[in-house]
Amino acid sequence: MRSGKLKHVIQVYKQTKQKNESGEYVNNWQLIAKPYCEVKVLDGQEVVNGNIEIAIQTVEFKTRYSRVIEQYTPDMYIRFQNKKYDIQSVDNVNWLNRELRIVAKERR
């Protein structure tokens, strides 16, 4: 992986539960990683919902290896350019622990 291509910064969030002052558990989003990455749009779709046409993108993020990101769970998402992306898959390229390929779909 060429480091010069890692020119975008993404934020990876995970849902956590914390107790509030009255003892109830509240869901919060915690920032767990902020890596530099290369971004590539894989697919674009237009969906009609009622009278509104919505564009949804599938995006590939390539970043350096991170154990925290590789062990993703369904309650994690990526924030990039003020858009949220649901993680579809995380691939440790060739199992070398050097590069991760993350495929995510824009959240609507």
The predicted pLDDT at position 90 comes to 95
**Mean pLDDT score, 51-77:** 89
The predicted pLDDT at position 52 comes to 79
Task: Give yes or no for residue 31 having a pLDDT over 90.
Answer: yes
What pLDDT, in 10s, does the model give residues 73-90? 889 999 999 999 999 999
Which of 52-56, 68-72, 80-84 is predicted with the least confidence, judged by mean pLDDT? 52-56
pTM confidence score:
0.84
CA distance 83 to 56: 11
DSSP 48-93: EETTEEEEEEEEEEEEE--HHHHT--TTEEEEETTEEEEEEEEEEG
Q: Where are the domains of the chain?
A: 3-106
Which position has the token pair 């993108």? 57
Contact between 98 and 73 (Cβ < 8 Å): no
The residues pairing with 39 across neighbouring beta strands, listed in sequence order, are 61
Fold of 3-106: Thrombin, subunit H (2.40.10)
> Measured in Å, how far apart are the chain's first and last C-alpha atoms?
31
Q: How is residue 35 written in tokens?
A: 């890596």
What pLDDT, in 10s, does the model give residues 90-100? 999 999 999 99
